[in-house]
Structure formats: C-alpha cells, structure tokens
C-alpha cells in the first residue's frame, strides 16, 4: 500500500499518512512554462495498492488535470490497483441537465477518471447521491455526519438543538443528523432567482427559543447560509451556527460569514484553508484525516467501508 499526494491538499494528505503511520510516496508534480502538468513517481509502484489523495477544488481544472496525469503515470507504472481519494469532488453540482443543450459534467469527470486509470473512487459527501451511479468502477461515498455529531456533543452538550436544512434538497442529509442527535428538524423554504443569489421565503418548523444548527454539503458564496441564519434569528432562534462539509468559499464569502448572525461555521478540511478563512473568527475546520485513513485501510484490507458509519 502506498499513498500519493498531488498539490491540492497536501496538509490533509500528510495528516492521512500520519494516521496510517506510513510516509507519502516520493513524487514530483509540477508545471512546464506553458502550464502543462508534469508528474514523476520516484518510487517503484509495480504491484502496489496505491491511493492518490487529491481534492478537485479551486483551481478545479488544474487540480483535476494533476489527478488525471497522476493516475495515468501510476497505471503505466504497473500499480496493481489505483484508488482516487477525492475528499471534495469538483463538478458534483453539474449532476443533471439544468436546461437545453447543457452538459452533465459530473458524468464527464467520472468517465475521465476511469479512462485515466482509476480502479476505485473514495470521496466524501457527494452533492448528489446519484453521482455514484455515474461511475462504472466501485465508488465509496463517506459521510461527515459522524464527525459533526461528535463535535456537536462535545461543544454544545447542554443546548436545546434543532437541526435545520437550508433548502428542501438537503432535507435527507439534515434528517439523518437530527436522528443521530435525537433532536427536531426544521427546513428553510427558499427561492433561487438566479445562480449564486437566493431569497429566503419561509421557515418550516418551530425554531423560537432554540439553538439552530444549519447543515449542508457545500458553502460557496455563503449567501444562502447567511440568509437562512437571518431568517432563523428573525423567527426567534436563540442562536445559529452551521456545519458544512466542503468550504468552497469563493469571492467575499468569508467576509459575508463574518458579518452574518452565524456564531460559528464549522467546515471539514476536505478543501484546504485559505488565508481569508484563517482570519475569520467565526469559521473553523475539523479534520477528516482519521476518517479517510480508516476508509483507506478498509479498502486495502477488503473489509467493510460502510461499517465505519454504524
């Protein structure tokens, strides 16, 4: 078993390697003067079970290309099996035709990864569960919910919590977390007039006097999350914070979160922290290194991955 890291999330890759008590494979991932990606694996990988850790976060296309070239290099180096470990799967929001003559880019990326040489995919909190069906190779989708439950029980043991889904599409995710914590569920009913802009319409559920925890898979511009927090506070919530798996945080998202009623926004480290994130007092990260390490061990040992969530 060997662990290979590309450039998108080296801190997480090193943390995973530390959890597994093994070094990262020696590699070179660099660019030529014209921007072409060059990869060199400086260890023998023939017959090895190789795990490539790479989130396809911003700049998404560059990091995706790094991963594709690395997969090709490993295949040509005669690795026995190559697993692409993608804590954040870019293009996941393009999982259907949103209008006439539009692509299903998540399916395209799935095809590219398979053709490049991936034998298996290990990812976390896919934006849509059906993306697993886009792959013709085994795909394991991990969940951050157990990490969130553990963190909430540690940080907020005495609060009267209510889990809130920021939109109708996230109800299943929020309900699962509410069931794990044995608390109630509320839903934000919103209308999105255009991409990146949302308007909160209604809150379904009684949030008055209760501490609200918004749960989502991705925070991008932060508009929906902050609008939801404003709506909850306007309806008498004791306080609001959020737990989100992937912190994309484009543009002035960090400033928007800082200025919002959110007491805290908790993210995982599936996407590395930016300088703006580190300087925002009400944003924090929790690590997924142990979860990923255990899942990788299960894959290597041919044991159950789903048992990690029992």
192 is in an annotated binding site: yes
Token digits for 217? 């898979």
Give the C-alpha separation, 50 to 41, whole Å: 12
Question: Tokens 């255009």, residue?
Answer: 194
206 is in an annotated binding site: no
98 is in an annotated binding site: no
Q: Where are the beta strands (DSSP E) in 54-183?
A: 81-86, 120-124, 139-142, 161-165
216 is in an annotated binding site: yes
Is the distance from CB of 71 to CB of 37 less than 8 angstroms?
Answer: no
170 is in an annotated binding site: no
47 is in an annotated binding site: no
Contacts of 278 (CB under 8 A, 6+ apart): none
At residue 245, the 3 state secondary structure works out as: strand
Q: Which residues are catalytic?
A: 190
221 is in an annotated binding site: yes
How far CA 230 is from CA of 27, 149, 199, 224, 226, in Å, comes to: 47, 24, 11, 10, 6
167 is in an annotated binding site: yes
Give the C-alpha separation, 237 to 247, whole Å: 24
255 is in an annotated binding site: no
Strand-by-strand arrangement of the 81-86 sheet: 2-5, 49-53, 81-86, 120-124, 139-142
239 is in an annotated binding site: no
224 is in an annotated binding site: yes
* Residues contributing to the annotated binding site for ATP: 34-36, 93-94
* Residues contributing to the annotated binding site: 34-36, 93-94, 127, 167, 192, 216, 220-224
* Residues contributing to the annotated binding site for Mg(2+): 127, 167
* Residues contributing to the annotated binding site for D-ribose 5-phosphate: 192, 216, 220-224
């Amino acid at each position: 078993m060997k662990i290979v890291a590309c450039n998108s999330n080296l801190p997480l890759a090193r943390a995973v390697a530390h959890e597994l008590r093994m070094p990262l494979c020696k590699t070179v991932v660099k660019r030529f003067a014209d921007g072409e990606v060059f990869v060199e694996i400086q260890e023998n990988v023939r017959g090895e079970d190789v795990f490539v850790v790479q989130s396809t976060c911003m700049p998404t296309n560059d990091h995706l290309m790094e991963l594709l070239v690395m997969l090709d290099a490993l295949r040509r180096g005669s690795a026995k099996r190559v697993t692409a470990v993608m804590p954040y799967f870019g293009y996941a929001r393009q999982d259907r035709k949103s209008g006439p003559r539009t692509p299903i880019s998540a399916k395209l990326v799935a095809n590219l990864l398979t053709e490049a040489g991936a034998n298996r995919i290990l990812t976390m909190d896919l934006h849509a569960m059906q993306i697993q069906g886009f792959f013709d190779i085994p795909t394991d989708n991990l969940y951050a919910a157990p990490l969130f439950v553990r963190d909430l029980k540690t940080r907020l043991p005495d609060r009267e919590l209510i889990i809130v889904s920021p939109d109708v599409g996230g109800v299943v995710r929020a309900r699962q977390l509410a069931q794990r914590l044995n608390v109630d569920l509320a839903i934000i009913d919103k209308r999105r007039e255009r991409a990146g802009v949302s308007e909160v319409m209604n809150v379904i559920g009684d949030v008055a006097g209760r501490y609200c925890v918004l749960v989502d898979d991705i925070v991008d511009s932060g508009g929906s999350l902050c609008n939801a927090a404003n709506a909850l506070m306007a309806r008498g919530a004791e306080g609001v914070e959020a737990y989100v798996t992937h912190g994309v945080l484009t543009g002035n998202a960090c400033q928007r979160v800082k200025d919002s009623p959110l007491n805290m926004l908790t993210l995982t480290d599936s996407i590395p922290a930016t300088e703006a994130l580190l300087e925002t007092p009400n944003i924090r990260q929790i690590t997924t290194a142990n979860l990923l390490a255990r899942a990788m061990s299960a894959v290597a040992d041919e044991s159950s991955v789903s048992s990690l969530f029992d």
